[in-house]
């Protein structure tokens, strides 16, 4: 597992998940198309934890739905364990549904209020027939409650009896209970009190280190991704603008958008401070509409360094250092 910590993945290993030039366009009427995801490629290796960053509206959740097969792609392919997930049927589809789990942002909305915590955690165990009988089912429920820092005594309670942080622990236990190989977490701490966020990040760090688990950890907050990700991908308006191993990205952020995200980090962070010194300017303005995309670089309208070329020619994503990709005309 240690070999995957370098970012590019172990040499010769098959990635667990591959997204190949995926697109998700929405027809929004009046012959207009909203390009939520517009040609994104990445892979996730076994045991690797990948962060997906970008402001609200950049296409992160749409990417999550695409890789989990929850929405039909407009174009491109998602492969899981080598298989195109669009072609999965029957038992193969069930196996994929078990193997790739999702943890949602809102622990209030994602747990059924009429179900006990035990039944919520056992949802996947029941659907996939993972327990042989009552006793094993209960044993599994207890095991996963303990794994996320909850107790057996809490199994019979209902979601409303729990705090936000505890509910998110229940959501994580539910996902972990089917022993997945991939966990996709979409803003798992954004709805929680700041005081609780670090506890959930610690829990996720423990899961990452203790299991051969791959994670796609989505957040608008780059500072949070630093603690949990081996590699970070930064999206802007439907495309990847930068990606690198975590330390490389935080120490040598190359794209003005990544630099601006780091400069906008609210909490003191030495790497963010260095990025600021290195030239990052805080973000101004808002994410443009993915309906009327600009002709050149999608970030040009907000980029303090944009040139005429940036406004007319879309920059390609290219390798600027080993394992470090950026899409910017200004980076040499």
Point out which residues bind Mg ion (CB under 5 A): 60-61
Neighbour-count burial of 16, counting CB atoms closer than 10 A to its CB (0-12 exposed, 13-18 middle, 19+ buried): buried
| Residue (26 or 158) nearer to Mg ion, CB | 26
- The single residue among 56, 163, 202, 312 that binds ligand ADP, judged by CB under 6 A, is 56
Rounded alpha-carbon distances, angstroms, from residue 114 to 120, 158, 159, 171: 10, 7, 8, 15
In terms of DSSP bridges, do strands 231-236 and 49-53 run parallel, antiparallel, or are they unpaired? parallel
| Residue (59 or 159) nearer to ligand ADP, CB | 59
| Residue (49 or 62) nearer to ligand ADP, CB | 62
270-277 vs 256-263: helix crossing angle, rounded to 10: 130
283-312: contacts with ligand ADP (CB under 6 A): 290
Q: Can residue 39 be called a binding residue for ligand ADP (CB under 6 A)?
A: no
Cα(168)–Cα(180) distance, integer angstroms: 17
Neighbour-count burial of 102, counting CB atoms closer than 10 A to its CB (0-12 exposed, 13-18 middle, 19+ buried): buried
Number of H helices, E strands in the chain: 12, 12
| Residue (62 or 246) nearer to ligand ADP, CB | 62
16-35: contacts with ligand ADP (CB under 6 A): 26, 28, 34
Among candidate residues 96, 90, 26, 94, the one with its CA nearest the CA of residue 61: 26
| Residue (162 or 257) nearer to Mg ion, CB | 257
Q: Can residue 57 be called a binding residue for ligand ADP (CB under 6 A)?
A: yes
Q: Which stretch binds ligand ADP (CB under 6 A): 55-63, 98-106, 267-275, 321-329?
A: 55-63
CB of 10 to ligand ADP, least distance (A): 29
Are the CB atoms for 201 and 192 separated by under 8 Å? Answer: no
CB of 254 to Mg ion, least distance (A): 25
| Size of the residue set binding ligand ADP (CB under 6 A) | 13
Q: Can residue 59 be called a binding residue for ligand ADP (CB under 6 A)?
A: yes
**197, interface contact from ligand ADP, Mg ion, none, CB < 5-8 Å by kind:** none
Q: Can residue 178 be called a binding residue for ligand ADP (CB under 6 A)?
A: no
| Residue (3 or 56) nearer to ligand ADP, CB | 56
Cα(248)–Cα(30) distance, integer angstroms: 44
62-81: contacts with ligand ADP (CB under 6 A): 62
């Amino acid at each position: 597992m240690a070999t995957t910590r370098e970012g590019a993945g172990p040499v010769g290993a098959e990635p667990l998940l591959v997204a190949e030039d995926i697109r998700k366009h929405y027809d929004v009427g009046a012959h207009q198309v909203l390009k939520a995801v517009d040609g994104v490629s990445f892979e996730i290796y076994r045991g690797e934890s990948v962060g997906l960053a970008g402001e609200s509206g950049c296409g992160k959740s749409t990417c999550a739905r695409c890789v989990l097969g929850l929405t039909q792609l407009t174009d491109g392919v998602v492969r899981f364990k080598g298989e195109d997930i669009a072609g999965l049927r029957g038992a193969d589809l069930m196996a994929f549904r078990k193997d790739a789990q999702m943890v949602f942002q809102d622990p209030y909305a994602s747990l059924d209020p009429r179900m006990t915590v035990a039944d919520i955690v056992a949802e996947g165990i029941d659907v996939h027939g993972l327990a042989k009988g009552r006793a094993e089912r209960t044993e599994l429920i207890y095991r996963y409650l303990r794994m996320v820092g909850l107790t057996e005594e809490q199994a019979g309670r209902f979601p409303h009896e729990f705090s936000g942080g505890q509910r998110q622990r229940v959501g994580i236990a539910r996902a972990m209970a089917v022993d997945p190989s991939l966990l996709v977490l979409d803003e798992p701490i954004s709805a929680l009190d700041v005081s609780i966020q670090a506890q959930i990040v610690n829990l996720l760090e423990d899961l990452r280190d203790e299991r051969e688990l791959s994670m796609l950890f989505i957040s608008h907050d780059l500072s949070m991704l630093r603690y949990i990700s081996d590699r970070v991908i930064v999206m802007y308006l439907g495309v990847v603008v930068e990606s690198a191993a975590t330390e490389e990205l935080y120490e040598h952020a190359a794209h003005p958008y990544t630099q601006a995200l780091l400069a906008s980090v609210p909490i003191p962070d030495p790497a963010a401070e260095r990025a600021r010194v290195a030239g990052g300017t805080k973000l101004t303005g808002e994410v443009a509409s993915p309906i009327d995309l600009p002709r050149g670089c999608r970030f040009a309208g907000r980029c303090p360094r944009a040139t005429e070329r940036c406004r007319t020619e879309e920059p390609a994503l290219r390798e600027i250092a080993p394992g470090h990709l950026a899409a910017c005309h200004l980076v040499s």
